């Protein structure tokens, strides 16, 4: 009888402890961790706020027009970019996430479409590469492409939701799928590190398919040459335009231009493509390849005179 009573008491203590522990972690995050509003209302509100700011920029002529962006894609505005020095201090995953959050931007087009009176966003990612407003991203993120718009603005949005007009396109390389744009703001830069190899860690913070603040970890799978006319000098810009990198970090449409980071929160590349292989009629997907533009290529573009 005593044994049974003791066992019941121990069980009740265990249940109480478990309930108390679950209550402590009911919100699922440590103090100060931002929570993304993934609801339809939250996403629509975010897009509307970006649209309102974009309209103000357009009215004040503080942002590049569609035509100006197209012109500067063909003839980028010359500027010297002072790149940050890479770190050698290993960080925890949470520390890498925090550095990525502060150095990352959403880059792309906020526009009033021709079919309704609402503002829409077509944006990818980007990352600060200097402390004076230079931001790297994909070339295809900057290109308005076939977006049908009454009017639109190329803008950048920081981790706190503040919107900035893009003032110039300073580097643009379609084949490499890399570009550098400028905003008038102090930025927290992420440094390049190209001394990496297959098997090294690869972290990515992006917004795949509108899933905000999605952070993942993988490894570098390989480096490879992809099409084009590779030159004799592998370090030339002409060759580096065709150098690619596969990693196992997770991303999807909406992640383009987001930084891929090493264990020290240095940029080892940026998101470019996602490619499924093996899929066909009555055939399953055999592999999904996540392709990035390596840091060596982007840095060479930034250092181009």
Question: Residue 11 falls within a domain, yes or no?
Answer: no
Whole-model pTM: value is: 0.88
Question: Residue 167 falls within a domain, yes or no?
Answer: yes
The domain total for the chain is 2
169 and 222 fall within a common domain: no
Sign of torsion over alpha carbons 224, 227, 232, 238: negative
Please determine, for residue 34, whether its predicted confidence score (pLDDT) is greater than 90.
no
pLDDT band at 2 (very low <50, low <70, confident <90, very high): very low
Q: For residue 27, what pLDDT is reported?
A: 55
CATH of the domain at 219: 2.40.10.10
pLDDT band at 28 (very low <50, low <70, confident <90, very high): low
Domain extent at residue 220: 201-302
177 and 240 fall within a common domain: no
Q: pLDDT (tens digit, 9 = 90+) per residue, 72-115?
A: 999 999 999 999 999 999 999 999 999 999 999 999 999 998 88
Give the DSSP letter of residue 209.
G
- Rounded (5°) CA angle 269-166-175: 40
Parallel/antiparallel/unpaired status of strands 178-182 and 134-137 = antiparallel
Give the lowest-confidence range in 7-16, 75-84, 149-158, 277-286: 7-16
Question: Residue 70 falls within a domain, yes or no?
Answer: yes
Q: pLDDT (tens digit, 9 = 90+) per residue, 172-214?
A: 999 999 999 999 999 999 999 999 999 999 999 999 999 999 9
137 and 231 fall within a common domain: no
Distance, CA of 211 to CA of 138 (rounded, Å): 19
């Amino acid at each position: 009888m005593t044994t049974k009573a003791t066992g019941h008491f121990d069980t009740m203590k265990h249940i109480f402890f478990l309930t108390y522990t679950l209550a402590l972690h009911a919100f699922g995050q440590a103090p100060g961790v931002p929570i993304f509003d993934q609801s339809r209302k939250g996403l629509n509100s975010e897009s509307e706020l970006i649209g309102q700011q974009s309209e103000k920029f357009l009215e004040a002529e503080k942002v590049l027009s569609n035509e100006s962006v197209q012109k500067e894609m063909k003839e980028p505005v010359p500027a010297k970019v002072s790149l940050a020095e890479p770190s050698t201090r290993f960080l925890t995953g949470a520390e890498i996430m925090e550095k990525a959050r502060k150095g990352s931007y959403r880059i792309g087009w906020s526009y009033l479409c021709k079919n309704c009176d609402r503002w829409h966003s077509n944006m990818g990612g980007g990352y600060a590469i200097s402390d004076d407003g230079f931001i790297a991203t994909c070339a295809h993120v900057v290109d308005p492409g076939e977006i049908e718009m009454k009017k639109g603005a190329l803008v950048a949005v920081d981790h706190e939701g503040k919107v900035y007009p893009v003032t110039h396109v300073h580097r643009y390389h379609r084949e490499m799928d890399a570009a550098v744009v400028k905003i008038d703001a102090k930025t927290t830069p992420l440094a390049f590190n190209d001394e990496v190899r297959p098997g090294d860690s690869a972290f990515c913070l992006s917004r795949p398919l509108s899933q905000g603040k999605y952070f993942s970890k993988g490894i570098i799978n390989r480096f490879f040459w992809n099409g084009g006319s590779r030159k004799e000098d592998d370090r030339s810009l002409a060759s580096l335009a065709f150098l690619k990198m596969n990693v196992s970090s997770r991303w999807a449409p909406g992640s383009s231009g987001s930084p891929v980071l090493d264990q020290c929160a240095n940029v080892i590349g940026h998101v470019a493509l996602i490619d499924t292989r093996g899929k066909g009629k009555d055939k399953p997907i055999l592999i999904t390849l996540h392709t990035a533009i390596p840091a060596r290529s982007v840095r060479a573009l930034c250092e181009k005179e």
